[in-house]
Amino acid sequence: MPQHFDTGVDGLRVTVEDGGVAVLVLDRPERRNAVTLAMWRGLPGVLDRLAALPEVRALLVTGAGGTFSAGADITELAEVYADPQRADAYHADNVAAEEALAAFPHPTIAVLLGYCVGGGCQLAAACDLRFAAEGARLGITPAKLGVVYPAVPTVRLARLVGPARAKYLLFSGELVTARRAERFGLVDEVVEDGGTYARALEFARLLARRSPQTIGAVKAALAGPPEDAAAAVAPWERKSREAPDVREGLAAFLERREPRF
């Protein structure tokens, strides 16, 4: 049975499902899950607490009410931009939330339904993978508002889709279909409407059964520039020589059973 997890943050709801999968829901359906400052600020602490739970081995991020997120709360953003220092602080909190999601130690999958726009797309891009419903629409819209998109998500997007397509998305602010986003590399799998969450949960449960040692090394290698990858992976390589994961994986293969990592 799913277990409720008290986030202590309005607009963020979490359950821990069977099979080692936590589900983080952006939960403001009356505002199409627009992300408030309290949500940006609260997300790193929620993720830290989830990462500390031994039963959690993967994380789904999705939105309530049939949409992922319309982005930052525009009403709140208008107030923030009345003061340059408040705007600076807002974007620092925004980037810190994104970085915390990118640094989550287990696999993360964004489940994209409906609209995934602006800050919502920023959070989706910070996940390891993105599964989208056929009818989903994605876009990053700061150019429509005159907002300068921070360097961290700009570079992350370019690493994901390439510089030209990052410029296409950021220059225009236009929304693209899930299929086009998949061609861009912004989406990893497109699923028929109605089956996206179930498919993502199934895949997350699969990842939860894989070696956290292997997954942790991959995340470490790809988190920074290529020239830092060897140093980032080195502790994981050393651990793999001594920890039981490889012995268990080989034994399970020979015994034709599921490994127990």
- For residue 172, which amino acid is it? S
Give me the percent of the chain exceeding a pLDDT of 90: 95
* Burial class, 100, CB count within 10 angstroms (exposed 0-12 / middle 13-18 / buried 19+): middle
The pTM score is 0.96
Give me the percent of the chain exceeding a pLDDT of 70: 100
The predicted structure's pLDDT at residue 15:
97
**Does 1 have pLDDT greater than 80?**
no
Kindly report the average pLDDT of the chain as a whole number: 96
**Does 136 have pLDDT greater than 90?**
yes
Could you tell me the pLDDT band of residue 183, with boundaries at 50, 70 and 90?
A: very high
The predicted structure's pLDDT at residue 2:
82
The predicted structure's pLDDT at residue 213:
95
Distance (Å, rounded) from C-alpha 106 to C-alpha 52?
11
- CB of 260 within 8 A of CB of 252? yes
3-state percent breakdown (helix, strand, coil) of the chain, nearest 5: 50, 15, 30
For the chain, what are the domain ranges? 3-208, 212-255
Thinking of the domain 3-208, which architecture would CATH place it in?
Alpha-Beta Complex (3.90)
Could you report the per-residue pLDDT of 2-54, keeping only the tens digit for each? 888 899 999 999 999 999 999 999 999 999 999 999 999 999 999 999 999 99
